[in-house]
Amino acid sequence: MPANDIWFMIALFIFGGILMILELIMPGFGVAGIAGIVSLIAGIVVGSSVLTSGQLAVVIFLVFVFIVIMVVLLYRSAIRNGRLSRLLFLRTRASKDEGYTSSKSYEDMVGRVGVSTTNLRPSGTGDFDGIKMDIIADGQYIPKGTKIKIVKVEGFRILVEQVHDDIA
C-alpha cells in the first residue's frame, strides 16, 4: 500500500467534502457541488487501488451517505424557511394598502358616461370627459360615436355598455 496514494485519496475526499459544504453555503450555479461529487468519485477510484474490497465498500457507503446528507440539507435549506430560501426569495410585498401600485386605478370611473371613439368589437377606445381609455364592450358590438357607460373595472380591463336614452 503506497502511502502517497492513501494521502491522495484522503485529500480528494476532504476536498470533495469541502466543495459540497461550500455548495450548501453559497447558492449558485452548482459548479462547487459538481466538482465535489467528481472529487469524491475520484477518491473512490484512487481508493480502489489502495484499499481492500471490504474497506472500499465501507468508503463507498460513507461517501454515499455523505452525498445523501448534503442533498437533504440543500433541500431543507431551499424550502420555505431555510437559509437559502431567505437569501433567494423576497419576503416583503409591495401592497396597494402601503401605497404601491403598478398602474393607475380607474375604479373611481365606474358609472361615468362617455363616447366610443372606435367601433367596439368588443374592444376599442372611448373618451370620458377628455380622458381616452382602452375599453371592452360587455358582450356586444358598439358602433363608433355611441354613448357608453363604464360598468366594471377589473385591473386593466374596463368594461362598458351602451347607454340607451329612454325618453318617456
- Count helices and strands (H / E) in the chain: 4, 5
Domain with 137, as residue range(s), is: 107-162
83 with 111, same domain? no
pLDDT digits (tens, 9 = 90+) for 7-61: 888 888 889 888 887 877 776 667 888 888 899 889 888 888 888 888 888 888 8
pLDDT digits (tens, 9 = 90+) for 67-121: 788 778 777 766 766 655 666 666 666 666 666 666 677 788 888 999 999 999 8
Residue 58 one-letter amino acid: V
Distance (Å, whole) CA 66 – CA 72: 10
Q: CB–CB of 140/122 below 8 Å?
A: yes
Percentage of the chain with pLDDT > 90?
18
Q: How many residues does the chain have?
A: 168
Last residue of one domain, picked from the residues 88, 120, 154? 88
52 with 119, same domain? no
Last residue of one domain, picked from the residues 42, 59, 88? 88
Q: Does this model's pTM top 0.75?
A: no
